[in-house]
Amino acid sequence: MTAPKRNVLGVGVSVVDYGGATDAVIEAAERRRPLKVTALAVHGVMTGVLDREQRWRLNGFDIVAPDGQPVRWALNLLHGAKLRDRVYGPELTLAIAAEAARRALPVYFYGSRPEVLERLVERLSARFPGLVVAGQRPSLFRRSTSAEKLAIASEIRSSGASIVFVGLGCPRQEVWTHEYAPLLSLPVVAVGAAFDFHAGLLPQAPPALQRRGLEWLYRLFCEPRRLWRRYILLNPAFVTLLAAQAAGLRSFRHRGVPPASPLNFA
């Protein structure tokens, strides 16, 4: 069974820890069952707040782990979840990879660039000697055709993979997971910047900043042009809306609306 979800600004966020999320993925992999998993920080939650179709997609995930400390704090504040730690996408990647290696469950990596995937596979294989990598495929960095989409799904299925990791960035990776999961019938785990981090190409925030919920500040310093809108605009909006939900001024009960058509991100 997957962890219970609780409403954070209209997005169902799972009351789950690393162990619970990892166990759910491994069980689904061993039973060859579909499972949609993502780990959302503030930006990810806000994509669901601002886009009703994205909210519908997110609320269809089996596990929406609290990636950011503020999301964990929101669960504890609104719902008394008593979570002691967040479920950080890069750390969840390592936990799942370690268990997959132990059980000889092949994994597949989708997204990013060829050079990132090569470094990622090299470093993870060295860290977990038993890890079986069924395949890897970089992003097309554009929308796919319907034929390409079916071909990509067929390639992943034919690889023998038991678990698929997706690193396309939020919200593209959640859209990809939502649209490809029915074609794969495998657990699919969207892990954000984990590919770049574990490939050694992007620095991670110091642990002290991560614990204090200030990882965003470090990433903003590292990539100001790409990330300033995400953090400068969305973080205050998240806090304001969270206060309104906590005070009972807004209920955020609408689960979103089904997408009018697939986006075919690849």
Within 13 Å of residue 5, how many CA atoms lie on the same side as its CB? 20
pLDDT of residue 257: 96
The whole-model pTM stands at 0.92
Within 10 A of 82 (CB to CB), how many other CB atoms are there? Answer: 8
Mean pLDDT of the chain, nearest integer: 93
Q: Is the pLDDT confidence value at 165 over 70? A: yes
Distance CA 63, CA 4 (A): 9
Beta carbons of 219 and 194 less than 8 angstroms apart: no
pLDDT of residue 198: 95
Residues 6+ apart with CB under 8 A from 130: 101, 102, 104
Q: Is the pLDDT confidence value at 72 over 80? A: yes
What does the pLDDT average to over 44-49? 97
Q: How many residues does the chain have?
A: 266
pLDDT digit string, tens, across residues 5-21 = 999 999 999 999 999 99
Q: What does R_g of the chain's alpha carbons equal in angstroms?
A: 18
pLDDT of residue 1: 63
Distance CA 36, CA 163 (A): 11
Beta carbons of 192 and 89 less than 8 angstroms apart: yes
Phi, psi of 5 (to 5 degrees): -110, 155
Distance CA 43, CA 180 (A): 22
Phi, psi of 190 (to 5 degrees): -85, 120
What does the pLDDT average to over 52-81? 97
Q: How far is CA 258 from CA 12, 85, 187, in A?
A: 16, 32, 22
HEC sequence for 7-46: EECCEEEECCCHHHHHHHHHHHHHCCCCEEEEEECHHHHH
Percentage of residues in the chain having pLDDT higher than 70: 100
pLDDT of residue 111: 96
What does the pLDDT average to over 171-185? 96
What does the pLDDT average to over 16-42? 97
Percentage of residues in the chain having pLDDT higher than 90: 83
Q: What SS3 class is residue 109?
A: strand
- What secondary structure does DSSP assign to 134-203, as a single string? EEEE---SSBPPHHHHHHHHHHHHHTT-SEEEEES-TTHHHHHHHHHHHHH-SEEEE-TTHHHHHTTSSP
Full set of structural domains in the chain with CATH: 5-208 (3.40.50.10700)
Confidence of residue 211 (pLDDT cuts 50, 70, 90): confident
pLDDT digit string, tens, across residues 234-257 = 999 999 999 999 999 999 988 999
Distance CA 234, CA 51 (A): 13
Q: Which tokens belong to 209?
A: 């900043």
pLDDT digit string, tens, across residues 102-160 = 999 999 999 999 999 999 999 999 999 999 999 999 999 999 999 999 999 999 999 99
